[in-house]
Amino acid sequence: MPLSYVNPTSDSPWGTYLTQVDRVIPYLGPLARWVETLKRPKRTLIVDVPIEMDDGRIAHYEGYRVQHSLTRGPGKGGVRYHPDVTLEEVMALSAWMSIKNAAVNLPFGGAKGGIRVDPKQLSLNELEKLTRRYTSEIGIIIGPQQDIPAPDVNTDAQIMAWMMDTYSMNTGATATGVVTGKPIHLGGSLGRVKATGRGVFVTGREAARRIHLEIIGAKVAVQGFGNVGSSAAELFGQAGAIIVAAQDHTGSIFNARGFDLSLLVPHVKATGGVAGFAGAEAMDNESFWDVDCQIMIPAALENQITAARANRLKARLVLEGANGPTGSAADDILADRGILVVPDVICNAGGVTVSYFEWVQDFSSFFWTEDEINMRLDKIMVGALRKIWDTADQHQITLRTATFAVACERILAARQSRGLYP
Ligand code: NAD
C-alpha cells in the first residue's frame, strides 16, 4: 500500500526516489524481497516550532525530522531552512542519505530535517530561538548514537553550535557528537566546510580521467555558489579548469575567459550573491543551461535539470553537487545523449564522510590534521567510485543505478541479517 501522508508525482522528490529504487530491483537478487523497507521511512516526525519574534508577535513554523533508515547505524543527515521545505522533500532527502551513507560504506542510516522558513527574514535572535526550539522538539529522536544532524541549505556551524548546546542542556551532559559541522573550537573537524565541494572535485576528477576529459582547460558551469558550489569551483580552478558560468538566487553570470575566483568568492561573501560581479557579464537564468562547457555542476536545489534543459545541455560530464538536481526523465535523456552523470548519492558524499570523521574524532577526543582528513576523504571517495563503476560496467547500467545497487544491497543485507522484530 502506498503511504497515505504524501502524494508524490513522477517528478517530485519522493516520486523521483521511488523510481530510482524501482530501477535497481532487477540487480538485487533475493534481497529484492526486502525492497519495500526502502520505500517507506522508518520514522517521521512533524513538529510545531513557535517563537516570540522581536516585535512581540508569536510566529509558528513547521519543522520535520525524518529517519528513513536506521538499519546500518544511527541516522545521519542535514537540517535545511527554506520556505519551500515540505515533508515530502525531507523524506526524499533522508532516503538519499541512506543510499549515500551506504554507497560510501559509512556506518550510518539516513535522516534529514528541515523547517519551512525563510531564515533571511529573521534576526539573529529569532534564528537562535527557532533553532533551539526545533532542537528541543526533535530532541526525543536525535542523539550521538541515535541520529546526528548536520548543516544543509541555509544552516551553518553557528546553528549546529546552538543545536549542540540545546541538546546538551536538555540532557545534562556536553554532547559534542550530537551534531556535525560544528565550529572547530567546539569539536568540529578541520576540512568539514569544504568537504562536500572537495568530494565533488575528487569524483569529477576520477570520472574525467575515465572518459579522457582533460581537466586543464575544461570549461565549467556551476549552479549555486554557496558552500558546495564555490568550494568545488575553487578546486577545479586550482586544477586548471576555467569556470565560465555561475548562477545563484541573485542571477547568472558569464565570462568566456573564466572568472577570477580570488575576486568572485569575496564578492559573493560581501554582497550575498554572484549578481553584479564586475569580472563577468550578466546572463538570463535560462540561457545558463545553454552555456558551452564540458562540466556542469548543479549545486543548488532539486529538480534543476528538467527534461527540456537536459536536451540542451552542452556538457560531457554532470557532477551533482546538489541533492536530486536531475529529474528521472531528464536522467534518461542525459544517458541517451551520452552525457555522463556522477549522481548526488556519491558525488556529494564528501560532506557526510568528513562528518563521519568529525563524529569519530569527537568520540575519541583525538583530532586529526587537515592533510590527514583530505587524504582519507580522497581515498574513501576514489574507492567508493571504483566499486560503483565496476558495478555499472558489470550490468551495463548508469552510475546512478549502480550507486543505488551497491547501496541498496548493503542496506538490505544488513536488514536481512538483523531480521524483523519481533
Ligand atoms: P548554501 O546555502 O551554501 O548554497 C546554496 C546555493 O544555492 C546558494 O548559492 C544560493 O544562492 C543557490 N540557490 C538557491 N536558490 C536558487 C535558485 N532558485 N536558483 C539558483 N540558485 C539558487 O547550500 P549548500 O550547502 O552549498 O548546498 C547546496 C546543495 O548541496 C543542496 O542541494 C544541499 O542539499 C547539497 N549538499 C550540501 C552539503 C553540504 O555539506 N553543505 C552536502 C551534501 C549535499
pLDDT tens for residues 21-32? Answer: 999 999 999 999
Q: Is pLDDT above 90 for 192?
A: yes
> Which pLDDT tens digit goes with each residue over 149-167?
999 989 999 999 999 999 9
SS3 state of residue 155: coil
Identify whether 83 is preceded by a cis peptide bond (ω within 30 of 0).
no
Q: Residue 25, exposed/middle/buried by CB under 10 A (0-12, 13-18, 19+)?
A: middle
pLDDT at 302: 87
Task: Establish whether 387 is a catalytic residue.
Answer: no
Q: Which residues contact 73 (CB under 8 A, 6 or more apart)?
A: 101, 106, 107, 108, 109
Atom of ligand 1 at shortest distance to CA of 348? Answer: 43
Q: What is the mean pLDDT of residues 88-92?
A: 96
Round to whole Å and give the CA distance between 84 and 90: 11
Domains in the chain and their CATH numbers? 41-175 (3.40.50.10860), 195-347 (3.40.50.720)
Q: What is the mean pLDDT of residues 113-117?
A: 98
Q: What is the mean pLDDT of residues 251-265?
A: 98
Q: Which of 76, 100, 112, 182 is catalytic?
A: 112
Q: What is the mean pLDDT of residues 359-379?
A: 97
**How many other C-beta atoms lie within 10 A of the C-beta of residue 59?**
15
Round to whole Å and give the CA distance between 376 and 357: 9
Of all protein residues, the one whose alpha carbon is nearest to atom 15 of ligand 1 is: 249
Q: What integer best gives the mean pLDDT of the chain?
A: 97
Pocket of ligand 1 (CB under 6 A): 151-154, 196, 223-229, 247-249, 273, 299-301, 321-323, 348, 351
> Which pLDDT tens digit goes with each residue over 212-253?
999 999 999 999 999 999 999 999 999 999 999 999 999 999
> Which pLDDT tens digit goes with each residue over 318-344?
999 998 899 889 999 999 999 999 999
pLDDT at 390: 98
pLDDT at 281: 98
